[in-house]
Structure 1
Amino acid sequence: MLKQTVYASMIALSMHAYAIDLKQSIDIALNQNYDIKEQQYVKEEKNANNNAAFAPFLPSVDLAYSFERRDETIVNQSKEDSVGSATVSYNLFNGFSDIFSLLSSNYVYKSSKYTYEATKQDIILQTKQAYITVLKQQKNLVTKEDALKLFNKQYEDARNKFDQGLIARNDLLEVEVQMLQAKQEVIRAKKELKVARLSLNNILSNALKTDEKLEELQYEELQYNTTKEDFINKRSEVAALKMLMDSYNAQENSDAGAFLPSIDASFGYYEYGDDRHIDGKEGYPENQEIAKVTASWNLFSGGKDINTVIATHKKKKQVYAQLEKLKLQIQLQYEQALEELEVAKLNYETAQVALEQAKINYDIVNNRFEQGVSKSSDLIDANFLLSQAKQNFYSAYYDKFLAVATLQRVMEND
Structure 2
Amino acid sequence: MLHPHQKTKRIFLCNIQEVIMSGSLIPKIIMFTLAFILTALLPSQTLNAQDDLPLLTLEECIEKGLNNDPDIVRAEQSLSQINNTLWTDYGSFLPSVTTSLGYNWNSRPTVAEYIETPDGQPIPVYVNESYSTSLNINQNLFNGFSDYFTLRANRHNKRAVEKNYSNEVINAVYDIRTGYYEVLQTMKLADVQRKALERSREQLRITETRYELGSAALSDVLKARVSEGEARLNLINAENNYKVAMANLNYLVGIDIEQQYRVDSSVIVRETDYTLENSLAVAIDNNPTLQSLKASLDASRNSVRAAWGGFLPNLNFNFSTSYYQAGAFEFGDIYSANHNYRYGLTLSLNIFDRFLTKRNVSTARASLNTDKFNYHNYVNNLKLLVTQSYLNLERAQLAMEVSGDKLASAQEDYKLAQEKYSLGAATILDLLNAEVSLKTAESDLIDSEYNLNLAIASLEKALGTIEY
Shorter-chain-normalised TM-score: which range? 0.7 to 0.9
Asked if 1:91 is matched to 2:127, the reply is: no
Residue 410 (str. 1) matches residue 462 (str. 2):
yes
Q: What residue is the counterpart of 1:334 in the other structure?
A: 386
Alignment partner, residue 161 of structure 1: 210
- Tell me which residue corresponds to 2:85: 49
1:212-248 superposed Cα distances (whole Å, 9 cap, x missing partner): 32242245x2224335373243122222111111111
Identify which of 240, 251, 261 aligns with 1:211: 261
Helix, strand or coil: the match of 1:64? strand
Q: Which amino acid aligns with 1:35?
A: D
Match of 2:225, SS? helix
Cα deviation digits, residues 80-108 of structure 1 (max 9, x gap) = 97754222221122111111111111111
Q: Report the counterpart of residue 7 of structure 1 in structure 2.
A: none
Partner Cα separation in structure 2 for residue 43 and residue 385 of structure 1: 55
1:392 deviates by: 0.6
Unaligned runs of 5+ in 2: 1-47, 109-126
Residue equivalent to 2:5: none
Equivalent position amino acid for 2:62 in 1: I
Deviations 1:19-60 (A, max 9, x none): 344344434444443322322222222122112210111111
Quickly say closer, same or farther: Cα 1:164–1:90, change in 2 above 3 A. Answer: same
Relative to structure 1, the CA distance from residue 301 to residue 69 in structure 2 (aligned partners, 3 Å threshold; closer, same or farther) is farther
Q: Which residue in the other structure is 2:307 paired with?
A: 255
User: Matched residues in 2 for 1:79 and 1:188: separation?
Assistant: 94
AA aligned to 1:102 is L
Residue in 2 that maps onto 1:241: 293
AA of the residue aligned to 1:263: L
The separation in 2 between residues aligned to 1:271 and 1:370, in whole angstroms, is 116
Amino acid aligned to 1:36: I
TM-score, normalised to structure 2, is: 0.75
* 1:109 pairs with 2:158: yes
When normalised by structure 1's length, the TM-score is 0.84
SS in 1 for 2:351: coil
Distance in 2 (alpha carbons) for counterparts of 1:71 and 1:262: 46
Distance 1:373 1:336, change over 3 A: same
SS in 1 for 2:92: helix
Match of 1:128 among 154, 159, 177: 177
| Residue 66 of structure 1: how far off its partner (Å) | 6.0
Figure out how many residues of one structure are paired with residues of the other and give that number. Answer: 397
Unmatched 5+ residue regions in structure 1?
1-11, 73-77
2:424 is aligned with 1:377 = no
Correspondence for 2:444: 392
1:63 and 2:99 are equivalent in the alignment: yes
Structure 1, 345-354 or 101-110: larger mean CA deviation: 345-354
**Which one has a bigger Cα radius of gyration?**
2
- Name the % identity: 21
Deviation per CA, 1:343-384, whole angstroms, max 9, x where unpaired? 112212221222122112222222333344433333222221
1:192-231 deviation line (CA, Å, top 9, x unaligned): 1122222222232229962232242245x22243353732
Describe the SS at the equivalent of 2:135.
strand
The question of whether the paired residues in 2 share the 8 Å contact of 1:98 and 1:254 is answered with yes
Residue identity opposite 2:267 in structure 1: L
Change (3 A) 1:393 1:215: closer
SS in 2 for 1:222: coil
SS of corresponding position for 1:53 = helix
Take 2:105 and 2:355, find their aligned partners in 1: how far apart are those partners? 44
Instruction: Flag the 1:215–1:374 CA change in 2: closer, same or farther, 3 A.
Output: closer
What is the one-letter code of the residue matched to 1:291? Answer: Y
Q: Supply the distance in 1 between the matched residues of 2:70 and 2:386 (Cα, whole angstroms).
A: 28
Aligned to 1:309: 361
Q: Could you give the per-residue CA deviations for residues 55-81 of structure 1, whole angstroms, max 9, x where no partner exists?
A: 111111212356789999xxxxx9997
Q: Is the 8 A contact 2:283 2:386 kept in 1?
A: no
The answer to whether the 8 Å contact 2:56/2:261 transfers is no
Q: Output the amino acid matched with 2:238.
A: A
CA contact (8 A) 1:224 1:404 kept: no
Change (3 A) 1:368 1:71: farther
Q: 2:315 & 2:131 partners in 1: Cα distance?
A: 30
**2:394 alignment partner AA:** E
3-state SS, counterpart of residue 230 of structure 1: helix
1:366 matched to which residue of 2? 418
User: Do the aligned partners of residues 218 and 315 (structure 1) sit closer, same or farther apart at CA in structure 2, a change above 3 Å counting?
Assistant: same
Q: In 2, are the aligned partners of 1:59 and 1:89 still within 8 Å (CA)?
A: yes
- Structure-2 change in CA distance of 1:175 and 1:360 (3 Å): same
Structure 2 Cα separation of the partners of residues 70 and 313 of structure 1: 59
Partner of 2:249: 200
Aligned to 1:4: none
Superposition RMSD in Å: 3.4
CA–CA distance in structure 2, aligned partners of residues 382 and 218 of structure 1: 28
The code of the aligned residue for 2:404 comes to Q
Q: Comparing 61-70 with 284-293, which one deviates more in the overlay?
A: 61-70
SS of the residue 1:118 aligns to: helix
Cα distance, 1:381–1:68 mapped onto 2, change above 3 Å: farther
Change (3 A) 1:57 1:162: same
Instruction: Write the distance in 1 (CA, Å) between the matches of 2:416 and 2:376.
Output: 60
**Quick one: which amino acid aligns to residue 222 of structure 1?**
E
Q: Which letter maps to 1:404?
A: I
The residue that corresponds to 1:289 in the other structure is: 341
Deviation at 1:278, TM superposition (A): 7.3
Q: 2:309 and 2:329 mapped to 1: Cα distance?
A: 42
Match in the other structure for 2:407: 355
